[in-house]
Structure formats: C-alpha cells, structure tokens
Amino acid sequence: MPSSTDAALRRQGPGGPGRAAPQRGGLLHQRRSHLLGLLLLVLVVVAATLSIAVGSRGIGPGAVWQALTDPGVPTEETVIVRELRVPRTALGLMAGLALGVAGALAQGHTRNPLGDPGLLGVTAGASLGVVLAIHTLGVGTPAGYVWFAFAGALLGTVLVFALGSAGRGGASPVTLALAGAALSALFYALVRAVLVSDTDSLDAFRFWVVGALAGRGADVAWQVAPFIVAGLLLALVNAPALDLLGLGEDVARGLGQRVWPARLVGLAAVTLLCGAATAACGPIAFVGLIVPHVVRAFTGPAHRWLVPCSGLLGAVLLLLADVVGRVVVHPGELQVGIVLALVGAPFFIALIRRRRLAST
C-alpha cells in the first residue's frame, strides 16, 4: 500500500522531485522544456542583435559587425555600437535574467502565483536607499547610487525575513508575504516623505524610478554583474529544494529537506538578483510576475527547468521591450519600464480573471 509521501509525490505532477508521476506526462514536459530552452536561447541571440542594431539611428548589420569585430577608425557608428548599445544590451540581458529568475523563486517560496520580487520588500528597500542617497549625499548618477539601492534592497529582505521568522512557526510563505507587504508600505511612506520635502530629490528620483536602460554605462553593468552571477548560482542550487517545499514543509522535512536553510538561500538569491537589477535599472515591474507563468505552461512545476527558462524569457522580454520603446516614439524614446507596464497590466488582469473563474 503506498505511503502518504508517495501519494504526495504523485500529486506533485510531472517533473516533480520524486519522479513518481506518469511517465508519459513526465516525458512530455521534459521534451517541452528542452525545446523551450533551445528556442529561448535562439530568441536571446535575436533580441540582443536587435538591441544592438535598432535605435534612433539605424545601423546596418555590416556596420554593426565591423564595429564589434574591427573597430578601426572610431567612426560615429562604432562609438554608438561599442560605447552605447553594447553596454545597454549587456545590462538588459543581465537584468532580464535576474528578474525572471527572481520571480520564479519568489513565487515558489511564497507559494503565491501573484507574487513577484517586490513582494519581499526588495524594490521598496532599493527605492528608499536611492532617495536617501540623493537627499543626504547629493548623489545624482546611476553609477553613484547603485550601491545605495543595493544596500536598501538587502536591508528590506533581511527585515522581511526577520519579521517573517519571528514566532513559534518560523518563516512561512504567509508570514513572509505579510511582512513584505507591511515593510514595503512603510518604506514607500518614507520615500514619499522625503520627496514631498525636497524637489531636487524628486527630480533626480524620477529619472531612476521610471525603470530604464538608457543612461547606464558599462560601469553600471560591471558593478552589478558579480551580484547577478552569484544570485544565479544560488538560484540554481535552490531550485531542487523548491520542488520539495512545494509538497508542503512537513512532507519536505520527511524527505530530508532542511526547510530553514532552503528559505534562507532562496531569499539571498532573490535579494542579489532583484536588488542588483533594481539598483541598476530602477523598478521594472511585471517581468518577475509574467515570465514564470508563461514558462510554467510549458515546463510544468519542476523548478530545475522553470528557473533557468524564466531567466532566459525575462532577458528576451526586457530586451524586446527596450527595442520597442526606441521605435514607437521615434526619434524620442519610451522607457522600458513603461513599455512593460503597458504589456504587463492586461496580462495581470487576465490572470486575475482566470483565477476567479477557476474558483467559482
């Protein structure tokens, strides 16, 4: 007679950690995951190519290739490609990877399908750090306040975990979500308190809070790259634990999973990824919310595929949104945060309606 643990593993569905689901469903999701991974890799290359070639000034493929491989005499096209578009593309690629993976981790740890990295106080903490850096120290460039944004994001996550872990039950998806919502409200109230009293801080903060890749040089990308790489490694290590935690903490403990270290590693990864991306580009909404839902439709619930594919799709979405923002208001530019909000808001509404219909 099968044990309760075996039954729980079967309920996990195709690709779960116990691999006790029907073989046909598991193979189907595995094939879909392989195909999706290959397709996303191709799309990343295409999106990066478009990001380098398309802009307010069109540059042909031959000129782009020559600027990348043989700069020679520093012509205007070479300067645009090497000093403006390549760093911008690299930053968009890293930020998209970070936000997509952070969204998958945040939804997995909070067990909230409507959760995103901002649910854990990361975005609000970064916003408070930027405002304080501008107001108290007069910092006015992305390269200057990126460290303050990251410090604020780290502070927000530490406080959320400390509050969510208080009490006899320790950290749980519900307590972490409640602590994140409460601290986010507090941080945003402090941000508004500073902004209404200082118009100079408001003007500088508006440039960052809209969410954009423009105006960020290679120095910003190099500053956040180590944190994003570290966060991606922690996320890949944490992915198998999320499959077990999805069965419930009691079942996960019965299968040998240490719950508290897994939560800590996951929150550290979310902090590094979302904190670095937010510090460099400003708050970019909907990537961490939308991407995991789209990927999950192909890969199933197995986080060993969900996490990396969410990162790749996040990079594609962010780069393509940035390209669209350069084209739709030519010769001006629409910031990537605005483009993603216009795309993400209808998706979010559809997701809410779908869940309401499923619950009735």
Mean pLDDT over 63-91 rounds to: 80
CB contact at 8 A, 276 and 98: yes
- Locus of tokens 């001006």: 332
| Per-residue tokens: 26 | 């598991």
What is the rounded distance in angstroms from the CA atom of residue 141 to the CA atom of residue 55? 23
Q: How far apart are the first and last CA of the chain?
A: 35
pLDDT recorded at residue 171: 64
Q: Is pLDDT above 70 for 49?
A: yes
pLDDT recorded at residue 167: 67
Report DSSP letters for 206-252, one per residue.
HHHHT--STT--HHHHHHHHHHHHHHHHHHHHHHHHHHHHTT-HHHH
Mean pLDDT over 81-88 rounds to: 86
Indicate the class that CATH gives domain 25-359: mainly alpha
SS3 content of the chain, % helix, strand, coil (to 5): 80, 0, 20
| Per-residue tokens: 326 | 């350069």
Q: Is the peptide bond before 22 cis (omega within 30 degrees of 0)?
A: no
The chain-wide mean pLDDT, for the chain, equals 81
Give the model's confidence band at 355: pLDDT under 50 very low, under 70 low, under 90 confident, else very high: low
pLDDT recorded at residue 319: 94
Give the model's confidence band at 24: pLDDT under 50 very low, under 70 low, under 90 confident, else very high: low
pLDDT recorded at residue 169: 63
Which residue stretches of 122-172 are H helix? Answer: 122-137, 142-165
Q: pLDDT > 90: what percent of the chain?
A: 18
pLDDT recorded at residue 231: 93
**138 vs 325, higher pLDDT:** 325
Give the model's confidence band at 358: pLDDT under 50 very low, under 70 low, under 90 confident, else very high: very low
Mean pLDDT over 197-216 rounds to: 79
CB contact at 8 A, 240 and 69: no
Give the model's confidence band at 237: pLDDT under 50 very low, under 70 low, under 90 confident, else very high: very high
What is the rounded distance in angstroms from the CA atom of residue 33 to the CA atom of residue 299? 5
Report DSSP letters for 26-44, one per residue.
HHHHHHHHHHHHHHHHHHH
pLDDT recorded at residue 317: 94
Q: Output the pTM of the full model.
A: 0.83
| CA 19 and chain centroid, separation | 28
Q: Is pLDDT above 80 for 98?
A: yes
- Nearest to residue 169, comparing CAs of 250, 86, 69, 92? 250
What is the rounded distance in angstroms from the CA atom of residue 263 to the CA atom of residue 64? 45
Burial class (CB in 10 A: 0-12, 13-18, 19+), 320: buried
**279 vs 21, higher pLDDT:** 279
335: left (phi over 0), alpha (psi -120 to 50) or beta: beta
Mean pLDDT over 59-63 rounds to: 74
Mean pLDDT over 11-28 rounds to: 49
